[in-house]
Amino acid sequence: MVTWVPLESNPEVMNKVWYSFNFKQYEMIKFYFLYQLGVPEDWGMFDIYGFGAEELAMVPKPVISVIMLFPFNDAYENRRLEEESFIEKKGQNVSENIYYLKQYIHNACGTIALIHSVANNRDKIQLKDGILKQFLDNGKDMSPSSRGELLLKAEDFSNAHKESAFDGQTAAPDPADAVPYHFVSFVCKDGYLYELDGRKFEPINHGPSTPKTLLEDTVNVVQEKFVAPESGNIHFTLLALSNCSED
């Protein structure tokens, strides 16, 4: 499998100050990388500091996607396999309008979470000409697997990712090192909340949602499906993709 250097989880990196990853891989997604990919600067990534009403009220609105960084361990893998088996037996409804990309690159989950967040909100985000717009246009009619293969061959994406990963506050890890954290994104599409994880077999439908309740609905799912099973593990980080010009 092709391996990229992991990204740092720093809001300023995803919006425009240069940062990179270890546990804080999520930081890089926040600013610099986002704008480097052609997202207009009236959109940005913002920390979600807690699950309570007061903390959620601090997040700029509207929120169109939530990105989560969480522990990647054997317990999570077991839950993923159980979930896959359950859905294969029971089935689920998945909107044909969901953009989904399979992950075939080790340590690319942060970049893929960003792609999922933006690609499923192109009616709201007017992308500038650049790496991401070209990638999405080229893969518009492809299958999730073919989009994953397209990213494998996208040297411009690889170079942009590498540039950001090596310009962080913390020393970038060796690409071959095992990284115990993983990124996924949550979006609302056609009235339902979807979890988009390139390592899963398809998008996961978590039930009804609306653009106005996306943040709260995501937090409820995160608490029930991710935090509670970890029995006190506090290494979860949430970011909101919001329009910072409207708040």
Ranked by mean pLDDT, the top range of 22-26, 52-56, 97-101, 181-185 is 97-101
Catalytic-role residue among 106, 116, 161, 182: 182
Tell me the domain boundaries of the chain. 2-243
DSSP β-ladder status, 237-243 and 63-71: antiparallel
Q: Which residues, at least 6 apart from 56, have a Cβ–Cβ distance to it below 8 Å?
A: 48, 50, 215, 216, 219
Distance between CA 169 and CA 26 in Å, rounded?
Answer: 12
Ranked by mean pLDDT, the top range of 26-35, 86-95, 157-166 is 86-95
Distance between CA 60 and CA 68 in Å, rounded?
Answer: 17
Flag whether pLDDT at 190 surpasses 50: yes
Flag whether pLDDT at 114 surpasses 50: yes
| 182 noted as active-site residue | yes
Q: Enter the CATH code of domain 2-243.
A: 3.40.532.10
Q: What's the CA angle centered on 70, arms 139 and 211, to 5 degrees?
A: 60
SS3 annotation, 184-208 = EEEEEECCEEEEECCCCCCCEEEEE
Average pLDDT estimate for 215-222: 96
pLDDT in tens, 36-77: 889 998 898 888 988 999 999 999 999 999 999 888 888 888
User: When comparing pLDDT for 149 and 31, which is higher?
Assistant: 149
Average pLDDT estimate for 92-109: 93
Position 117 scores a pLDDT of 96
Average pLDDT estimate for 209-236: 88
| 161 noted as active-site residue | no
Q: Which residues, at least 6 apart from 131, have a Cβ–Cβ distance to it below 8 Å?
A: 36, 37, 38, 154, 156, 157, 160
Distance between CA 197 and CA 20 in Å, rounded?
Answer: 21
